């Protein structure tokens, strides 16, 4: 065997990105190095892996698609050697696939994973940000090792360890008549235009809050992107409901939003760690869970105003 794992990694990066330039930005290796590695791999295997399009990236050949799948499998098996060595020597090393709910990821994930890799420099973390349904399905298929998410419709077979509770609140523009209120009821909000965060399971949670109070919200618009929702609210389109509590009260366009507590007893969302119950917990996953438990609590949440600290 005269090809290297590094050549396979560069091939995988280029195949997934569809571009040498994008692969370079992803794995932080110069484009000439990636291009050379792929050419050497093609010569060694005697096949063409890509069709090169001038100034338009790469397309995998039929053979390239087959070999990309096998290359991924080979790299996963190689990484399994690190995991086995870690288990045997009680070391924490290897690659960890961490999923995170897309609404939490911009605030929680950077500090959480950076501090973990600083403590365990032989660990590499792959981030996967998505909605709750995708995270749960990916855990079931063992495509991710662990998910940082909410306790939204956690099914049998998924173990969830709660770490912190986030009660819901209303978010309004700075000039909104309710911006100065100490609290607002869902009945009062129901007649106002709602900008709904339209993500699987998240939207059901928010709409269920109104159902519990016996009122129907007036949905003005929907978006699956939290930043779009915040910016629409900041521009006066209406209000939204949220659980996350960013330390910044600015939308991306620089306009200000204001948090207003909801009156009454409202079901909070709980941030926690989700794993596949039937999968044996590795030393690496165990170390990450312990790290999350030390970093996330009702008194402190990375990137957010923790409810108890604010009180």
pLDDT for the residue 85: 61
Q: Which residue has the higher pLDDT, 79 or 70?
A: 70
pLDDT for the residue 281: 81
pLDDT for the residue 52: 85
Per residue in 195-226, pLDDT (tens digit) is 999 999 999 999 999 999 999 999 999 999 99
Question: What CATH architecture applies to the domain 5-85?
Answer: Orthogonal Bundle (1.10)
pLDDT for the residue 224: 96
pLDDT for the residue 255: 97
pLDDT for the residue 295: 92
Q: Which long-range contacts (CB under 8 A, 24 or more apart) does 33-42 make?
A: 34/10, 37/6, 37/7, 37/10, 37/11, 38/7, 38/10, 38/11, 38/14, 40/3, 40/7, 41/3, 41/7, 41/8, 41/11
pLDDT for the residue 310: 53
Lowest mean pLDDT among 87-91, 169-173, 222-226, 279-283: 87-91
Q: Which residue has the higher pLDDT, 78 or 30?
A: 30
pLDDT for the residue 121: 92
**Listed residue (278, 292, 266, 268) closest to 150, CA to CA:** 268
Q: How far apart are CA 85 and CA 219, in angstroms?
A: 54
Residue ranges per structural domain of the chain: 5-85, 93-164+269-310, 168-261
**Homologous superfamily assigned to 168-261:** Periplasmic binding protein-like II (3.40.190.10)
Whether 311 shows a pLDDT value over 80: the answer reads no
- pLDDT category at 82 given cuts 50, 70, 90 is low
Tell me whether domains 5-85 and 168-261 share a fold: no
Per-residue pLDDT averaged across 230-235, rounded? 98
Give the count of beta carbons closer than 10 Å to the beta carbon of residue 53. Answer: 11
- pLDDT category at 92 given cuts 50, 70, 90 is confident
Q: What percent of the chain has pLDDT over 70?
A: 95
On whether the 93-164+269-310 domain is CATH 3.40.190.10, my answer is: yes
Q: Which residue has the higher pLDDT, 104 or 306?
A: 104
pLDDT for the residue 260: 97
């Amino acid at each position: 065997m005269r090809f290297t794992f590094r050549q396979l990694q560069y091939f995988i990066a280029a195949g997934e990105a569809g571009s040498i330039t994008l692969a370079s930005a992803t794995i932080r290796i110069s484009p000439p190095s990636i291009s050379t590695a792929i050419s050497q791999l093609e010569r060694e295997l005697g096949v063409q892996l890509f069709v090169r399009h001038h100034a338009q990236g790469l397309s995998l050949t039929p053979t390239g698609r087959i070999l990309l799948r096998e290359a991924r499998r080979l790299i996963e098996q190689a990484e399994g050697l690190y995991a086995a060595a870690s288990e045997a020597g009680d070391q924490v090393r290897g690659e960890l696939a961490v999923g995170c709910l897309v609404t939490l990821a911009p605030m929680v994930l950077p500090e959480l994973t950076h501090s973990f890799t600083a403590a365990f420099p032989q660990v590499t973390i792959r981030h996967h940000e998505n909605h709750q349904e995708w995270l749960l399905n990916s855990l079931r298929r063992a495509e991710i090792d662990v998910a940082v998410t909410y306790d939204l419709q956690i099914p049998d077979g998924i173990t969830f360890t709660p770490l912190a509770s986030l009660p819901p609140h209303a978010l309004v523009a700075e000039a909104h008549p309710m911006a100065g209120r100490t609290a607002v009821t869902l009945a009062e909000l129901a007649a106002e235009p709602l900008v709904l965060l339209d993500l699987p399971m998240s939207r059901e949670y928010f709409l269920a809050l109104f159902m519990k109070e016996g009122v129907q919200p007036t949905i003005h618009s929907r978006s699956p992107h939290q930043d779009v929702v915040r910016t629409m609210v900041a521009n006066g389109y209406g209000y939204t409901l949220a659980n996350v509590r960013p330390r910044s009260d600015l939308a991306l366009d620089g306009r200000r939003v204001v948090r207003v507590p909801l009156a009454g007893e409202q079901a909070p969302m709980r941030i926690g760690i989700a794993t596949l119950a039937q999968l044996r917990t590795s030393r690496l996953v165990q170390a990450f869970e312990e790290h999350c438990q030390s970093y996330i609590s009702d008194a402190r949440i990375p990137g957010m105003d923790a409810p108890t600290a604010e009180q």
